[in-house]
Amino acid sequence: MELLIPPAAAEPLFHIGSFPITNAIINGWIAVFFFLIVAFVANRRRGLVPLGVHNLIEATVEFMLGEVQKVTGDLKRAKQFLPIVGSIFLFILFSNWLGLLPGTGSIGVWGLHEGQLELIPLLRPAASDLNLTLAMALFVVISSHIVGLITLGPVSHLSKFVNVRGIFRSINKGPMAILVAFIEFAVGLIEIISEIAKVLSLSLRLFGNIFAGEVLLTVMLGIFAYVLPIPFLFLEVLVGAIQATVFAMLTLAYLTVATQDHGHEEGEHQPAHA
């Protein structure tokens, strides 16, 4: 019996015009619709005393807010970042665990994939598609810069990368100050490269771990379908939670750093001593 290893690229199920709808997109849509329903249910009742499922929703939000506040250090920024960080965490967690349900990867339709007739699964873990993880990483990095621009202002935020202001301010402070300003300018250019590296590291880390887990489960199920895959299923449950946490915490770190001034002019604000 031939063991069918899932391809690295998500398989298209059908097309809307020229846009392919893949099994990973279907998984992502299910996660989005699920949380839309949760948001609708949460918005239905706004009483002072939560009841039923509202207790769970409120407890989840309060727990995530507390964890975000531990990183930001203040409640205002925690509330500002929670919608982004919490949404990313819950989406990745739900879509990862959704990919572990029975039938994912095995129930599908027969169709042509790369010129060959193959069974195309109806569902595939959303994060096992590099297109999705790359889009999420771009969203995170761009959002961090938007938040930084709004919080610090364009000049202070952009000076972290192109510190022309520091060069002009150092002209009257002597040769060493000018040298330090040029070094900081060069470091800022390196920071631009690091922003690109953030996108690559975020997207490839999440994609690699989830796709590797999908391949591992396929191999274990191909070797023996009973009992043997169970420990690996529990391992993937843990990996799905860890990867969601890592992605969300890195997002929170980027947002927090983006809203902190680099403090190049700390010395200027200190009082002079006689």
Q: pLDDT per residue over 183-230, tens digit each?
A: 766 666 777 888 888 999 999 999 988 888 888 877 777 777 677 778
Q: Which residue has the higher pLDDT, 182 or 229?
A: 229
Average pLDDT value for residue range 128-139? 92
Highest mean pLDDT range out of 129-138, 145-154, 162-171?
Answer: 129-138
Average pLDDT value for residue range 118-145? 88
Which range, of 18-27, 36-45, 206-215, averages the lowest pLDDT? 36-45
Task: State the burial class of residue 123 (Cβ atoms within 10 Å of its Cβ: 0-12, 13-18, 19+).
Answer: buried
Residue 81: the pLDDT is 93
> Can you read off the two tokens belonging to residue 202?
């975020």
Average pLDDT value for residue range 98-102? 79
Residue 270 within a domain: no
Q: Which residue has the higher pLDDT, 249 or 19?
A: 249
What is the b/e burial string over 199-227, where b = at least 16 CB atoms within 10 angstroms of the residue's CB?
beebbebbbebbbebbeebbebbeeeeee
Residue 200 within a domain: yes
Q: Which amino acid is at 146?
A: I
Residue 264: the pLDDT is 44
Residue 14: the pLDDT is 79
Rounded to an integer, what distance in angstroms lies between the CA atom of residue 146 and that of residue 256?
A: 12
Query: What dihedral do alpha carbons 89, 94, 100, 105 form, nearest 10°?
Result: -100
> Do residues 24 and 132 touch, judged by C-beta distance below 8 A?
yes
Rounded to an integer, what distance in angstroms lies between the CA atom of residue 220 and that of residue 209?
A: 16
Residue 188 within a domain: yes
Q: How many residues does the chain have?
A: 274
Asked if the model's pLDDT at residue 165 lies above 70, the reply is no
pTM value is 0.80
What is the percent of the chain where pLDDT is above 90?
A: 26
Residue 190 within a domain: yes
Asked if the model's pLDDT at residue 251 lies above 90, the reply is yes
Residue 265: the pLDDT is 43
What is the percent of the chain where pLDDT is above 70?
A: 75
Residue 88 within a domain: yes
Residue 104 within a domain: yes
Residue 165 within a domain: yes
Q: Give the count of domains, the chain.
A: 1
Provide the domain limits for residue 236: 12-262
Residue 99 within a domain: yes
